[in-house]
Amino acid sequence: MYHPGPPRFLATGERTELAPRDPDPDGRYAWRVADAPPGSEATVGDAPVTEFTPDVPGRYLLGLDAPDGDHLLTVRAFPASYEGVDVAGGSGTAIRDRDADDAPAEYAAQERREGVGRPRVRVDARVEFDGDGAAGERAGEAVFTATLTPNPDSTLDAADLVVTFVVDDRDVESAVGAGRTNPRDALDASGDDRELRVPLPRVSVADAAAVERAAADGPTVGDAGEAGLTPDAPDFETRRLNDPPEWTRDASVYEVFVRTFADTDEGAAFDAIAERIPQIADLGVDTLWLTPVLGHDGKPHGYNIVDFFDTAADLGDREEFEALVETAHDHGLCVLFDFVANHTARDHEWFRDAYRNPDSPYRDRYEWQREPTSTGS
């Protein structure tokens, strides 16, 4: 499926990159602005990977014509909080499109407008059931409640802020395609837009909270899509997807750059770090954070992994690493290490096999880009 993903939220003037998911190099893709707020002149490019910049506040629908059909991506644009700063959208903020002789420009977060600031929203969830029904079953709903906190620099109160619950376009597409009710039609928002009710069995809202059956069997679902809870059925539970683990809230972390922390011979780093753990614990910390410890290609810092299942030979063997962890635990320390899961080294056996063999079982673990054919002289 080439759907470009969940809804995006931008300020006017922010740029975001558009691309089909896992595109076929031989496939044909075409973007279009299917719907836009009045007064908008925003456009998209002709290439499969292009950019979009909303120019007025409101909701945009961007269409993608792909080999597997037509897809719609929602973009919600809000009035810009900053003016006069050229800022890239998406994850991370960066100054863009500047020549060497341009005047310096600060990041947007440092360019403030009086009385304006980005608010915060916390989404909590609970499960409610109606009274007893036929055969003891009860219809259930997941109830999502939004709690708003204005920015400290804002002149607005919480009551002045507006909440909008947005359904993932992919959920709409799959539900309609399967002949089920459009999820947008199943949502029941309260009059003050602070509460959303969704029929069970499993729902999620804005990548912030989820409700699901605690057991694997799942609830009994009727023709109307409602969930029935029988007396002997497992309870539902709610989880906040973006909350960090509880122990991190008051953790004191000591980071160790494993290759330079101790002046020792190659292959003896784990032992040398373990010898220093009593002194680290005496500092009052409770967490030891190690830079990458897995097998790597020899590049600096060890982030290009060649073996996800064994330690780096220049640091020590697996038994020595396990002894380090046990020593840390004996002194009341948790142990973290940087785990690089989003790429491998070129020398990794998965990449080598995938590069040589288009039918490799590892082929889909990588993104491939065909080199452009030169037509010049």
Q: What is the CATH number of the domain that holds 18?
A: 2.60.40.1080
Share above pLDDT 70 across residues of the chain, in percent, rounded to a whole number = 74
Residue 289 lies in a domain: yes
| 71: DSSP letter | E
208, 242, 276: which is the final residue of a domain? 242
Dist CA 35 CA 52 (whole Å)? 13
- Confidence class of residue 115 from pLDDT cuts 50, 70 and 90? low
Q: Do 158 and 219 fall into the same domain?
A: yes
pLDDT (mean) for 107-117: 52
**Among 144-153, 181-190, 217-226, whose mean pLDDT is lowest?**
217-226
Q: Do 248 and 188 fall into the same domain?
A: no
**Among 51-55, 65-69, 158-162, 170-174, whose mean pLDDT is lowest?**
170-174
| Secondary structure (DSSP) of 214-275 | SSSS--EE-TTS-EE--TTSPPEEEEETTPPPGGGGG--EEEE-TTTSS---TT-HHHHHHH
Residue 2 lies in a domain: no
Tell me, what's the pLDDT at 200? 67
Q: Do 236 and 256 fall into the same domain?
A: no
Tell me, what's the pLDDT at 191? 66
Question: Is 0.75 surpassed by the pTM of this model?
Answer: no
Residue 20 lies in a domain: yes
223, 242, 261: which is the final residue of a domain? 242
Cβ burial of 165 (10 Å; 0-12, 13-18, 19+) is: middle
Q: Do 189 and 260 fall into the same domain?
A: no
Tell me, what's the pLDDT at 306? 93
pLDDT (mean) for 83-112: 40
Q: Do 333 and 345 fall into the same domain?
A: yes
**Does 118 or 237 have the greater pLDDT score?**
118
Residue 1 lies in a domain: no
pLDDT (mean) for 241-248: 80
Q: Do 248 and 377 fall into the same domain?
A: yes
Residue 226 lies in a domain: yes
Task: Provide the number of structural domains found in the chain.
Answer: 3
Tell me, what's the pLDDT at 246? 84
- Confidence class of residue 37 from pLDDT cuts 50, 70 and 90? very high
Q: Do 250 and 377 fall into the same domain?
A: yes
Residue 139: domain span: 120-242
- Mean pLDDT (the chain, rounded): 77
Tell me, what's the pLDDT at 84? 45
Q: Do 366 and 248 fall into the same domain?
A: yes
